[in-house]
């Protein structure tokens, strides 16, 4: 099956710093989603981004499908950005699709 | 914005007991999913459901698991005889049927603890 690799696995930032999280995938995908898992375990959908660049406040994401990677940028990080960031790629089959998740990047933002 | 709703938020069950996790997908969605996340690990696909039948399932989804859409709004995951290793966060998701690559919308999860 498809492999989804995220880097770095762990990241510690000082509040206000910027960061880039990477997601590599081993095969063509129909789409890609980025999630933030907060300390309560909730999966918050950040971006749905098959290709190109999207921005939402301090966050932006870029997917280059032809080169099989996606990047998540966090600018001016805040302590509330702490948590685990997952990318998930969408694989289609006959009757629908499924998401395959990467291993996540665990982010800690220190005040 | 419409949400996927899951109940209960936390379920504690004795090993060997049956458990039913409940989900109310977004009302006009046609595709439904269950995912599982063991503590500290990544989220794993369990099963997808469309048109009142399972369309895909993973190796994790063995005979102890079943899914059902008992009425027009609920989507349930049943674990027949729970084991310690079933302890995990279970997420329900749904998506619309308008196009195959539409995003999946996730509920807040049910944390299942098997004692």
Per-residue pLDDT at A30: 79
CATH of the domain at B60: 2.60.40.10
Q: Average of pLDDT values for A62-78?
A: 96
- Residue spans of the domains in chain A: they are 4-104
pLDDT range class, residue A95, cuts 50, 70, 90: low
Taking only the tens place, the pLDDT of each residue in B46-92 is: 999 988 899 999 999 999 999 999 887 899 999 999 999 999 999 99
Residue B2 has pLDDT above 80, yes or no: no
Number of domains in chain B: 1
Nearest to B109 among A42, A90, A97 (CB): A42
pLDDT range class, residue B102, cuts 50, 70, 90: confident
CA of A41 to nearest chain B CA: how many angstroms apart? Answer: 7
Q: Average of pLDDT values for A28-35?
A: 90
Percent over 70 (pLDDT), chain B: 95
Q: Which residue of B has its CA nearest to A88?
A: B43
Per-residue pLDDT at B100: 65
Chain B residues with a Cβ under 8 Å from any Cβ in chain A = 31, 33, 35, 37, 42-45, 48, 50-51, 55-56, 89, 91, 93, 95, 100-101, 103-106, 108-109, 111
CATH node for A4-104: 2.60.40.10
DSSP secondary structure string for all residues of chain A = ---EEEE-SEEEEETT--EEEEEEESS--SEEEEEEE-TT--EEEEEE-SSEEEEETTEEEEEEGGGTEEEEEE-S--GGG-EEEEEEEEEEETTEEEEEE---EEEEEE-
Percent over 90 (pLDDT), chain B: 78
Structural domain range at position B85 = 5-97+106-114
């Amino acid at each position: 099956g498809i492999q989804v690799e995220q880097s770095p696995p762990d990241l510690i930032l000082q509040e206000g710093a910027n960061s880039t999280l990477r997601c590599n995938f081993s095969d063509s995908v129909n789409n890609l989603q980025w999630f933030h898992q907060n300390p309560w375990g909730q999966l918050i959908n950040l971006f749905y981004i098959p290709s190109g660049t999207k921005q939402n406040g301090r966050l932006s994401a870029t997917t280059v499908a032809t080169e099989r990677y996606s990047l998540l940028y966090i600018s001016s990080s805040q302590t509330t950005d702490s948590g685990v960031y997952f990318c998930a790629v969408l694989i289609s089959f006959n009757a629908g699709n499924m998401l395959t998740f990467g291993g996540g990047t665990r982010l800690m933002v220190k005040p | 914005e419409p949400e996927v709703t899951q109940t209960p938020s936390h379920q504690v069950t004795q090993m060997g007991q049956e458990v039913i996790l409940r989900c109310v997908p977004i009302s006009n969605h046609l595709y439904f999913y269950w995912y599982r996340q063991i503590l500290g690990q990544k989220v794993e696909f369990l099963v997808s459901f469309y048109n009142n039948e399972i369309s895909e399932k993973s190796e994790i989804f063995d005979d102890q698991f079943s899914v059902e859409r008992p009425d027009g709004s609920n989507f349930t995951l049943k674990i027949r005889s729970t084991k310690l290793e079933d302890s995990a966060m279970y997420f329900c998701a749904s998506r619309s049927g308008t196009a195959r690559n539409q995003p999946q919308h996730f509920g807040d999860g049910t944390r299942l603890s098997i004692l």
